[in-house]
């Protein structure tokens, strides 16, 4: 009887304090006893979502978290499933630096005829240097409704022979230049949700000299719905003029400005509807007029880019109304000089105050993007320092599954690309990390004002791959790479 009591008491002590809601803990080395309180390095909480915007089809997606010490030695690693929280532990002096790596792997396909490819094995690695013991929430995109329905929007009584026409929804946009107008009618075939309403923005622009105008509408359309509007009753967009400085006078490497005006609603702060854009070249007209629709957006965004031979500077700012948009564009003054472009021993010096940096490199096995069967991208993030000097261990073989048969090292990666960020909206390093790993955060790197400096290698296919991955993984808006 006494033995039975002892057994029951031990059972309660061992199992009575656990529950299904407790975070999982990893076992970095079977047979090694790790004290949870003293040896927890950090906690990962993963959300329920597993979509990636701009991708047609994703499958076999997995997320592994790896923690290394300052020399690149792996301290612990574990796979993290959706709706799971896991503590990562190791016997390690937590007063020393350690780094956090998210290794996202999936198969990607695109069924569009002009971009068709199937089952490309893709790795996207985010490395955050010198992290601390806290909970990091990681989440991919919410699975968006598919545009399985159609609606029709018509403009009648159009008094012009040709128009530029565009329509946008959360599913995408289409633009037709010099579209012939037949029987004074302009028709839009719009992809919408199968069930429920879809917000649609449509405009028609006349560019005939002396008759320039842009008229627009915002409609909530349902599947199968037909809406007919009289063109002449549509509101006209307001015309604003923005001047650009002559940067070529002080920098012979300057090539052009590109800029765009967009509108968005606060409830959809990650979905921008671009309604006008421009290019300004040195030696040409240094001012541009923009048509800006009024009273259909809650806020406006102006994105400006200065393109040089080896780098790009960009700014994005937000305004409550059209009158707040400055009449003169002020480019970013951020600058950097790269002294060692080796990914494993990267060195650069930054001019100007900034907050955070990243540098990235990628590999793909095809001669062109459409010929790829394997892609690998690795992005390193850290806080600002005037002199960037990062020494890394080649961990690619540790990140990639053996059965994927990549057989590459860091020397196979293309030219690294350095990006410098500055934003008054980023509170601290934790805020920056959270914006990079949680795709559904209300404040993220797509909807805050910022300045950015970006190095480019125009002859490198890997530069395109990096840029594609960065906007695809939602670090920035896709518009931000339209240079």
Give me the DSSP letters along 278-335. Answer: EEE-TTS--EEEEEE--SS-SEEEEEEEEEESSEEEEEEEEESSGGGS-SB------E
Question: Is 230 within the bounds of a domain?
Answer: no
**Per the domain annotation, does 233 fall within a domain?**
no
Domain of 181, in residue numbers: 149-222
Residue 102 has phi, psi (to 5 degrees) of: -100, 120
Do 251 and 205 lie in one domain? The reply is no
Say if 56 falls within a structural domain.
yes
Same domain, 25 and 93: yes
Cα distance between residue 196 and residue 222, in whole Å: 6
Ranges assigned E (strand) in 84-196: 84-89, 98-110, 117-128, 135-138, 149-156, 162-169, 172-180, 186-192
* pLDDT in the model for residue 142: 72
CA distance linking residue 283 with residue 119, whole number of Å: 47
Q: How far apart are CA 338 and CA 316, in angstroms?
A: 25
Q: How far apart are the C-alpha atoms of 255 and 306, rounded to whole Å?
A: 8
**Each residue of 44-58: b (16+ CB within 10 Å) or e?**
bbbbebbebbeeeee
Please answer whether residues 377 and 464 qualify as being in contact, where contact means their C-beta atoms are separated by less than 8 angstroms.
no
Q: What is the CATH number of the domain that holds 161?
A: 2.60.40
Instruction: Report residue 4: phi and psi, to 5°.
Output: -65, -40
Q: Are residues 71 and 162 in the same domain?
A: no
**pLDDT on residue 476:** 47
For residues 371 and 303, membership in a common domain is answered with no
Q: What is the reported pLDDT for 382? A: 95
> Among the three residues 161, 194, 222, which one is the final residue of a domain in this structure?
222
Closest to 48 measured CA to CA, from 84, 19, 86: 84
| 363 lies in the same domain as 471 | yes
Is residue 10 one of the residues assigned to a domain? no
Question: Same structural domain for residues 406 and 359?
Answer: yes
Say if CB 461 and CB 414 are below 8 A apart. Answer: yes
Residue pLDDT, tens place only, 419-445: 999 999 998 999 999 989 988 777 776
Q: Which residue has the tokens 């030219």?
A: 415
Q: Verify that 88 and 71 share a domain, yes or no.
A: yes
Residues of the chain with pLDDT under 50: 1-22, 28-30, 464-483
Say whether both 122 and 174 belong to one domain.
no
* Residue 29 vs residues 14, 26, 33: alpha-carbon distances, Å: 21, 9, 8
136 and 60 housed in the same domain: yes
Q: Is 67 inside a domain boundary?
A: yes
Whether residue 453 lies inside any domain: the answer is no
| Partner residues linked to 45 by β-bridges | 85, 137
Residue 213 lies in a domain: yes
Residues 97 and 67 in one domain: yes
Is the same domain home to 106 and 191? no
Domain end, chosen from 222, 257, 278, is at 222
Residue 481 lies in a domain: no
Stated pTM of the model: 0.84
How many domains are there within the chain? 3
Distance between CA atoms of residues 369 and 473, nearest Å: 17
Query: Domain ends where: 324, 355, 382?
Result: 324
- Alpha carbons 268 and 265: distance in angstroms, whole number: 5
pLDDT of residue 74: 97
pLDDT of residue 106: 94
Q: Are residues 216 and 247 in the same domain?
A: no
């Amino acid at each position: 009887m006494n033995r039975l009591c002892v057994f029951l008491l031990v059972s309660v002590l061992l199992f009575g304090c656990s529950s299904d809601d407790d975070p999982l803990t990893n076992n970095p080395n079977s047979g090694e006893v790790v004290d949870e309180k003293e040896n927890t390095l950090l906690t990962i909480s993963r959300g329920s979502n597993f979509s990636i915007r701009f991708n047609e089809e994703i499958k076999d997606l997995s997320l592994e978290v790896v923690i290394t010490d300052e020399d690149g030695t792996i301290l612990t690693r574990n796979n993290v499933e959706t709706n799971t929280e896991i503590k990562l532990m190791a016997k390690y002096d937590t007063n020393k630096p350690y780094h956090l790596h998210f290794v996202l792997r999936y198969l990607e396909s695109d069924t569009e005829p002009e971009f068709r490819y199937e089952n490309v094995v893709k790795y996207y690695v985010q490395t955050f240097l010198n992290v601390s013991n806290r909970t990091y929430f990681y989440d991919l995109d919410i699975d968006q409704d598919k545009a399985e329905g159609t609606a029709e929007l018509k403009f009648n009584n159009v008094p012009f022979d040709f128009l530029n026409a565009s329509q946008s929804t959360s599913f995408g946009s289409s633009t037709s230049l010099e579209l012939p107008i037949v029987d004074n009618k302009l028709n839009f075939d719009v992809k919408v949700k199968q069930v429920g309403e879809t917000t649609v923005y449509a405009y028609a622009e006349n560019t005939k000299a002396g008759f320039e105008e842009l008229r627009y509408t915002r409609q909530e359309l349902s599947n199968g719905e037909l809406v007919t509007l009289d063109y002449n009753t549509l509101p006209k967009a307001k015309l604003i003029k923005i001047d650009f400085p002559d940067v070529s006078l002080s920098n012979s490497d300057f090539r052009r400005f590109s800029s765009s005006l967009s509108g968005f609603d606060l409830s959809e702060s990650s979905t921008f509807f671009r309604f006008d854009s421009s290019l300004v070249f040195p030696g040409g007209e240094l001012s541009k007029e923009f048509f800006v629709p009024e009273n259909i957006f809650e806020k406006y965004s102006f994105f400006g880019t200065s393109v040089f031979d080896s780098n790009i500077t960009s700014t994005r700012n937000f305004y409550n109304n059209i009158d707040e948009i400055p009449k003169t564009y002020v480019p970013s003054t951020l600058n950097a000089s790269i002294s060692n472009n080796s990914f494993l021993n990267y060195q650069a010096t930054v001019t100007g105050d900034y907050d955070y940096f990243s540098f990235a490199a990628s590999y793909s096995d095809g001669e062109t993007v459409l010929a790829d069967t394997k892609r690998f991208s690795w992005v390193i993030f850290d806080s600002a320092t005037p002199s960037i000097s990062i020494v890394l261990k080649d961990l690619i073989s540790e990140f990639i599954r053996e059965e994927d048969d990549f057989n590459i090292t860091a020397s196979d990666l293309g030219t690294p690309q350095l990006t410098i960020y500055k934003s008054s909206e980023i509170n601290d390093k934790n805020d920056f990390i959270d914006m990079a790993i949680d795709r559904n955060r209300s404040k993220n790197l797509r909807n805050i004002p910022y300045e950015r400096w970006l190095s480019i290698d125009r002859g490198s296919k890997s530069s395109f791959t990096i840029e594609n991955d960065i906007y695809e993984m939602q670090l920035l808006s896709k518009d931000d790479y339209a240079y």
